[in-house]
Chain A
Amino acid sequence: MATSSERSPPPFPDSEEQDVLDTEEVANRATDDDDDDGEDLFLSPTNQSLAEMEPTLPPTSQNSDFLIQPPIDIMSDPLIDPIISPEENKPAAEVVSEPSDDFVDLTNNGTDSPDDTGTADSTKDTSEIPLDEPSDEFFDILGSESGAPQEEVVVADVTVEASKSEDTDPPLDDETGSKVEQAKETSTDPIINITGDLPASDTQQPPTTNKIADPLLDLFSDTPAVDAKKPIQPIPDLFEDEGSDLFTEPRQTKPAKQPQKSLFGEPDEDLFAEPLGATSKKTISQEPKTVTPKPSGDGGDKGANQREPADIFTEEAVITAPTVSKTPGATSKTNGVHSEEDTDIFAEATVELSLDSPHNERKKDMTAKPSASAPSLAAAAAAASLTKPQSAALEELEEEEEEEEEDDKFEINVSVTNPEKIGDGMNAYMAYKVSTETTLPMFRTKTFTVRRRFSDFLGLYEKLSEKHGPNGFIVPPPPEKSILGMTKVKVGKEDSSSTDFVERRRGALERYLQRVVNHPSLIQDPDVREFLEREELPRAVNTQALSGAGFLKMINKATDAVSKMTIKMNESDVWFEEKLQEVEAADQLFRKLHTLVESLVVHRKELSLNTASFAKSAAMLGSAEDNTALSRALSQLAEVEDKMEQLHQEQAANDTFSFAELIADFIRLLGAVRGSFDHRMKAWQRWQDAQSMLQKKRETEAKLLWANKPDKLQLAKEEIVEWEAKVTQYERDFERVSATVRKEVIRFEKERTKNFKRQIIKYMESLLQSQQQVMKYWEAFLPEAKAIA
């Protein structure tokens, strides 16, 4: 059972309830409610460990809060944190006298002085939008998003107007700049421009605006570069230059970003992106890299009017020091973190920072929500990874990703396309085209395509999770087999639900593969290469037996049993404990969200149907109407409603593919995260067992010594040596797994934030576009209605 759990695809909403029930049976626990049981599963262990190990921690009430109020933490944390961390930075840097007011000031200043910052202005504009016409320009922007590159120009202009009312000259060079840039992603570009501008303009403001700029500046990785440049620019030029600077600067900074990237990006990046095995040498070479920029950053700040960028470092510098020294002292037997190289200490520091820093307390105070303290884990992740997400512009993210890939010799893109039904009847199966584009030297060619069936994907997962799961890696899970969905496909029903199913699955498989190949360690696995490259793959036999709901159920039972058993370990590392709780809470949240979004989809489809039937009916009414103009208007109305129906349908698809599926992915991934925690516990268990075995052997030795049996004594001594080696080995294993899990979880959270943000934006954009359409349709209808006489 224990072994099978290693390759468990994590549970999914559908199977969940049964599973929980089953676990209940296994555990002989009497609980009336499924949900409660789920909570209990995780509540009880945590309580224990809390009580045993950490008497200082606030007791149960806090725990239950995590579970009762999950929404606040999980979702908000990675995103809200940035606000708080800058605040925290300031006391650390000891520059600003009144740090706590910032948030308030931010908004106040913004609205009071219109020319202060871009943000402030947009605040103003926002409030005006519904009232006057600017909204129209506004909408043009939106229209252009999907349009041709030239239209981006308009976007740029309007943005300038929006963010700088006195700034009327159209920045020409930027337009070209943006044209070049948006080659990558047209739809997001205009917004990126805005994003880019805000920080840029902020920095150029006279010192009075510092306070407003503060939180923002910290958010943007651009700023340090901008700051560094600042002294060069004569101050009087501020306003003259602004127009062009606004736009050019973000681009100019690009070359300059390289060093800056290593300031911010790399400490995290390399730590987590680097395959574990490869660390030792590289870390050494990175160490200077991360350190050297500090002085230059500080110097630049002193020279200029700002000290924001310094915050980031000072914070690290100030806080790392104590924590690093604290860790070894406080935790004697955990984690392997301190036993690793410097890099890890650094990582530890970043993490500890948000665990132990004043930040927590303040957060607790500020938002009297009890959950706020736990989530600071997410904060930890955020803090660790935020330097990047903070930079926020999607494009930048992507750029950095690309850069990152380049740095790590990571260049691979996988797509899953052309789902095709092979065979007939119940033996039919779906095959997919898996195309790879890569510059990685490990592959023989740059592009290649193979055909894979669904069970091959499952087979790959099993191999990977068998190999890498026990080491603490989060192996991305594939979508689970769906008997119902496949049966429909097999029967050959060509209805929308089966095409929906196929498309959903194709998307899920693609995202799964992308996650695998983008994982720095997993891509090195020969099985992955084989999966992508080899023409004929040996049939993955065992997946047949293992697929389906029964399999899932069994696995879940096993996993839960294991976790229940092993979770009793004296968790000496708060980080893991809190993370696990966080994962649990996130899991529940996402499950709930998934149900809600599914119901949204259902209702949207309903609306689409009802709109269609109203459209028909309105057309009939139009034909019955004897007033010609009214008759025409009614049939126009019918047409509008027809188009609306289309929009609702598209939106339902959007709800499904960009929102519901995203959530489903996360639920699966959270299961995998939980799996990695389980593996860590197993490693711990093994170490503990070895220790008690060693203890026994020593006792035996003592007895033998007492009984004076030298012949057996020799054997016992050998055994002790053997077990001592094992204990050392297992301890090291445990430390290694712990370190990996930690890295993996941080990597996962970083990915999640990035992903989630991107998806939400994508989703919002789809909503936005459909609103554009709605507006267009009704605007076309309006004259018809007015023509009724």
Chain B
Amino acid sequence: PIRSVSVDLNNDASLLIDIPDALCERDKVKFTVHTKTTLSSFQKPEFSVPRQHEDFIWLHDTLVETEDYAGLIIPPAPPKPDFEGPREKMHKLGEGEATMTKEEYTKMKQELEAEYLAVFKKTVQVHEIFLQRLSSHPILNKDRNFQIFLEYDQDLSVRRKNAKEMFGGFFKNMVKSADEVLISGVKEVDDFFEQEKTFLLDYYSKIKDSTAKAEKMTRSHKNIADDYIRISATLNITMSFVSLQKVEGRVASDQELKLTELLRYYMRDIQAAKDLLYRRARALADYENSNKALDKARLKSKDIPQAEEHQQQCLQKFDKLSESGKKELTSFKGRRVVAFRKNLIEMAELEIKHAKVRSSIQLYYICFIMCTNELQYAWGICKILCEQI
């Protein structure tokens, strides 16, 4: 299976995680998280546990909320499994059944099922990648909650956030973005971070745009694939349309996998990097405030030791954050470049392959329509071709 997004994982054999299996129950997806490890902190060398999407979110949130990890880029949480697209399409298809020929309907249905399967696979993959990012991180892979997540063989039964907390989270985000504006007023002391901030903010808006545009493009591609299905179902003879539709559908899904997913993932990853910058800026602001408080205390000659201590703590925290942040951001850059490289190469190769296949189908089609009127025969050839793809 091709990984949708490569996240340069320095694969450490001491902790290997994968999701070999997942089960879709109504709205819930149950993932089987399988771990193989040589670390002594685990009771067994190999085990599997059932986990739901909410558990992943819980893990992510606890990591974000851990003070010690403030200087790290916390891998972005996997997006919520979304089967609405294919489901809605399936619904529409059911409604439109009367207007279609049986053949058309069957073909459309098959195509939708394939799409559904693709979404499902993709969902599993993003969850897997989240865990793999954690397992390959020198600090995060030692996290207690992470280990519990991997090892605890019962349902984690993570309490879902209640409305107030959800609202709190939302509110926090509001505050955060308001804060961001505020903190951006704080004068940056380090050129590296200044540059990084400008870069990430700019990059984020660009990649967000690109992601949206790529999604749109992929969708149009799928529409064309659908048109091909309907045409081929209507026009029995144009066998080549059947194959074209298959290829067209594949072009769309490969583009989705290689390009859109990549952009989508790095959009989230950049958000995570931005969060790191935010936390650092916050620490910087704290430090400056503590400086001010110390000055005040000195002026008033009151509570000077406490203020001094607080100021020291803030400075320490800020320094620590800056140090690990610098490391994280540098490694992030490398990771991004590698991932882009890999995906762009793979995409180009797939595009070439599809173009070749399409050409050969078309050429053979032309040959056969010209030299025989016998399309069944040509169809046989196309079929062989398709199976080889």
Query: Chain A interface (Cβ within 8 Å of chain B)?
Result: 69, 71-72, 75-76, 78-83, 103, 106-107, 119, 122-123, 126-131, 135, 138-139, 141-142, 188, 191-192, 194-195, 198-199, 215-216, 219-220, 382, 386, 389-390, 392-394, 589, 592-593, 596-597, 599-600, 603-604, 606-607, 610-611, 613-614, 616-618, 620-621, 623-627, 629-630, 633-634, 637, 757, 760-761, 764-765, 767-768, 771-772, 774-775, 778-779, 781-782, 785-786, 788-789
Closest Cβ neighbor of A107 among chain B residues:
B380
Pick from B227, B238, B348: contact of A600, CB under 8 Å: B227
Q: State whether B231 touches A597 (Cβ < 8 A).
A: yes
- Tell me whether A191 and B366 are in contact (CB under 8 A): yes
Is B2 on the interface with A (CB-CB < 8 A)?
Answer: no
Interface status of B13 (Cβ within 8 A of chain A): no
Interface residues on B, range: 35 or more
Name the interface residues of B322-341: CB closer than 8 Å to any CB of A: 333, 336-337, 340-341
What are 17 A-to-B residue pairs whose CB atoms are below 8 Å?
A76-B375, A106-B377, A107-B380, A130-B388, A138-B359, A191-B366, A191-B370, A192-B370, A392-B373, A596-B234, A610-B216, A611-B220, A616-B213, A624-B207, A760-B238, A771-B359, A788-B341
**Apart from A127-B385, A621-B210, A624-B206, 19 more pairs, CB < 8 Å:** A80-B375, A119-B377, A122-B367, A194-B370, A386-B373, A390-B373, A392-B371, A610-B220, A620-B210, A633-B340, A764-B369, A765-B366, A768-B363, A771-B356, A771-B362, A772-B359, A775-B351, A778-B355, A781-B344
* A interface, over-half SS: helix
Chain A residues with CB below 8 A from B381, complex form? 122-123, 126-127
Q: Are A596 and B348 in contact (CB under 8 A)?
A: no
Q: Give the Cβ gap from B351 to chain A, nearest Cβ, in Å.
A: 4
Cα A765 to Cα B380 in complex, Å, equals 20
**Which listed residue (A81, A82, A119, A607) contacts B224, Cβ 8 A?**
A607
Chain B: minimal CB distance from A776 (Å): 9
Per-residue 0/1 for B176-210: is the Cβ within 8 Å of any A Cβ (1 yes, 0 no)?
Answer: 00000000000000000000000100110011011
**Closest Cβ of chain B: how far from A157's Cβ, in Å?**
16
Contacts A131-B388, A142-B363, A194-B367; A79 near B374 (Cβ below 8 A):
yes
B112 within 8 A of A: no
Chain B residues, Cβ within 8 Å of A195: 367, 370-371
Residues of chain B whose beta carbon lies under 8 Å from any beta carbon of chain A: 101, 199, 202-203, 206-207, 209-210, 212-214, 216-217, 219-221, 223-224, 227-228, 230-231, 233-238, 240, 244, 333, 336-337, 340-341, 344-345, 347-349, 351-353, 355-360, 362-367, 369-377, 380-381, 384-385, 388-389
User: Contacts A771-B359, A788-B337; is A782 near B348 (CB within 8 Å)?
Assistant: yes
Select from chain A the residue with minimum beta-carbon distance to B199.
Answer: A626
> How close is B25's CB to chain A, nearest CB, in angstroms?
35
Known: A593-B235, A768-B363, A772-B359. A610 touches B372 (CB 8 A): no
Q: A126: which of B236, B362, B384 is its contact (CB, 8 Å)?
A: B384
Contact check, B388 vs A627: say whether CB atoms are below 8 A apart.
no
A531 to B374, CA, bound (A): 41
| Chain B residues whose C-beta falls within 8 Å of the C-beta of A215 in the assembled complex | 372, 374
Q: Chain A residues near B375: list those with CB within 8 A.
A: 76, 79-80
B362's partner among A199, A633, A764 (CB-CB below 8 A) is: A764
Which residue of A80, A128, A599, A606 is within 8 Å of B373 (Cβ)?
A80
Closest 9 CB pairs of A and B: A607-B220, A195-B371, A788-B341, A775-B355, A785-B344, A614-B213, A600-B227, A82-B373, A603-B223
Report the Cα distance A390→B240, complex, angstroms.
Answer: 20
Which residues of B sit under 8 angstroms from A79, Cβ to Cβ?
Answer: 237, 369, 373-375
Q: A637 with B344: in contact, given A71-B236, A617-B206, A760-B238 (CB under 8 Å)? A: yes
Question: Once the chains are docked, how many angstroms separate the CA of A613 from the CA of B223?
Answer: 17
A residues in contact with B369, CB < 8 Å: 79, 757, 760-761, 764
A625 interface neighbour in B203, B227, B230, B345, Cβ under 8 Å: B203
Give bound CA distance, A91 to B212, whole Å. 64
Please tell me if the beta carbons of B234 and A607 are within 8 angstroms of each other in the complex.
Answer: no
A19 CA to B384 CA in the complex, in Å? 46
**Given A194-B367, A610-B217, A614-B216, A603–B238 Cβ distance below 8 Å?**
no
A775→B360 contact, CB < 8 A: no
The verdict on A71 contacting B235 (CB below 8 Å), with A141-B363, A633-B344 known, is yes
